[in-house]
Chains A and B, each alone.
Chain A
Amino acid sequence: MSTDAAAPMAPSLPVLTAKDFASDQEIRWCPRCGDYSILAQMKKVLPTLGIPREKFVFVSGIGCSSRFPYYMNTYGFHSIHGRAPAIASGIRISRPDLQVWVITGDGDALSIGGNHLMHAIRRNLDLKIILFNNQIYGLTKGQYSPTSPLGKKTKSTPMGSVDNPVSPLCYAIGSEATFVARSVDVDIKHLSMVLERAAHHEGTAFVEVYQDCNVFNSGAFEYATDKAQKAESVVYLEHGKPLVFSGGKKGIRLNGMTPEIVELGKGITEDDLLFHDEKAMEPSLAFLLTRMRHPEFPEPLGIFRDVKKPIYDRAVNEQVAKACAKGEGDLDGLFNSGDTWVVN
Chain B
Amino acid sequence: MSSSSGAAAVLDPPDNPGKQQLQLPSVVIRFCGDSGDGMQLVGTQFTNVSAAFGNDVVTLPDFPAEIRAPQGTLAGVSGFQLNFSSEDIFTAGDQVDTLVAMNPAALKTNLADLRHGGTLIVNEEEFDKSNLLKAGYAVSPLETGELSTNYRLHKVPMTRLTRDAVAGLGLSVKEADRCKNFFALGVVYWLYERDRKPTEDWISDKFAKTPSIAEANLRALRGGFNYGFSTEAFTTHYYVPPAKLPPGKYRKITGNEATAIGLVTAAKRCGKSLFYSGYPITPASDILHELAALKKFKVRTFQAEDEIAAMSAVCGAAFAGEIAITASSGPGICLKGEAMGLGVMTELPMVIIDVQRGGPSTGLPTKTEQSDLLLAMFGRNGDSPLPIVAAASPGDCFTMVQEAVRIAVEFMTPVIFLTDGYLANGSEPWLIPRMEDLPPIQVSHPPGNTSAPDMVNGEGENEFMPYRRDERLVRPWAIPGTPGLEHRIGGIEKKDVTGNIDYSPLNHHHMTMTRQNKVAGIAEHIPLQDVEGPETGELLVLSWGGPFGVVRTAVRRAQDEGLSVAHAHLRYLNPFPRNLGEIISKYKKVLIPELNVGQLRMLIRAKYLVDAAGLNKIQGKPFLVHEVLDVIREMLGQTPAAQIPAGQPSLKETVKG
Measuring CB to CB, which residues of chain A are less than 8 angstroms from any residue of chain B? 1, 3, 23, 25, 52-55, 57, 59, 62, 69-70, 72-80, 83, 86-95, 97-98, 115-116, 118-119, 316-317, 319-320, 322-324, 326, 328-329, 331-332, 334-344
Contact = CB atoms under 8 A, between A and B. Distances in A.
Contact of A80 (B249, B275, B342): B342
Contact of B302 (A75, A93, A328): A93
Which of A54, A76, A332 has the most C-beta atoms of chain B within 10 angstroms of its own C-beta?
A: A54
Contact of B489 (A55, A77, A328, A329): A77
Contact of B298 (A23, A93, A328): A328
A88 B304 CA distance: 12
A339 B483 contact: no
Interface in B474-504: 480-492, 500-501
A54 B490 contact: no
Nearest to B433: A335
B248 A324 contact: no
29 contacts: A52-B483, A54-B481, A75-B488, A76-B488, A77-B319, A78-B492, A80-B342, A83-B308, A86-B305, A86-B316, A87-B315, A87-B319, A89-B302, A90-B313, A90-B317, A94-B275, A94-B324, A95-B481, A116-B305, A116-B312, A316-B300, A320-B298, A331-B435, A332-B434, A334-B261, A337-B251, A338-B252, A339-B251, A341-B250
A-B residue pairs, 4 tightest by C-beta: A90-B316, A78-B490, A90-B313, A323-B295
Interface string B242-271: 111111111110000000010011001000
Given A3-B462, A69-B488, A324-B295, A341 B480 contact: no
Interface centre among B316, B321, B434, B488, by most chain A C-beta atoms within 10 angstroms, is B316
A46 to B, nearest CB: 12
Nearest to A335: B432
Query: For A91, A94, A115, which residue has the most chain B Cβ atoms within 10 angstroms?
Result: A94
B251 A340 contact: yes
Nearest to B309: A86
A317 B275 CA distance: 11
Given A54-B480, A79-B491, A3 B449 contact: yes
A203 to B, nearest CB: 17
Interface in B271-292: 273, 275, 277
A326 B296 CA distance: 9
A54 B483 contact: yes
A319 B490 contact: no
A25 B295 CA distance: 42
Nearest to A1: B483
A277 to B, nearest CB: 31
Given A80-B342, A86-B309, A342 B298 contact: no
Contact of B491 (A78, A94, A329): A78
B54 interface: yes
Contact of A339 (B198, B242, B309, B500): B198
Interface in B441-488: 448-449, 462, 480-488
Contacts of A88: 316
B269 to A, nearest CB: 10
A54 B485 contact: yes
Contact of A94 (B304, B322, B338): B322
B499 to A, nearest CB: 11
Contacts of A344: 247
A331 to B, nearest CB: 5
Contact of B297 (A54, A93, A322, A334): A334
Contacts of B341: 80
B482 A323 contact: no
Nearest to B297: A329
Contacts of B346: 77
Contacts of A339: 48, 51-52, 198, 251-252
Nearest to A340: B251
Contacts of A73: 486
Interface in B571-619: none
B191 to A, nearest CB: 21
A20 to B, nearest CB: 10
Contacts of B299: 320
Given A54-B448, A69-B490, A83-B339, A340 B296 contact: no
* Most chain A beta-carbon neighbours within 10 Å: one of B244, B297, B299: B297
B54 A323 contact: no
B70 to A, nearest CB: 34
B261 A54 contact: no
A288 to B, nearest CB: 28
Contact of B52 (A78, A329, A341): A341
Nearest to A83: B312
Contact of A91 (B248, B320, B462): B320
B294 interface: yes
B300 A317 contact: yes
B314 interface: yes
A338 B251 contact: yes
A91 B302 contact: no
Contact of A316 (B243, B302, B484): B302
Interface in B418-432: 432
A317 B432 CA distance: 30
A334 B434 CA distance: 11
B306 interface: yes
Contact of B264 (A78, A92, A331): A331
Contacts of A324: 295-296, 298
A93 B313 contact: yes
Contact of B324 (A90, A323, A326): A90
Contacts of B273: 94
A317 B301 CA distance: 10
Given A86-B316, A339-B52, A343-B247, A331 B268 contact: yes
A343 B250 contact: yes
A91 B198 contact: no
Nearest to B257: A338
A184 B585 CA distance: 69
B275 A93 contact: yes
Nearest to B317: A90
A1 B250 contact: no
B305 A119 contact: yes
Contact of B488 (A53, A78, A83): A78
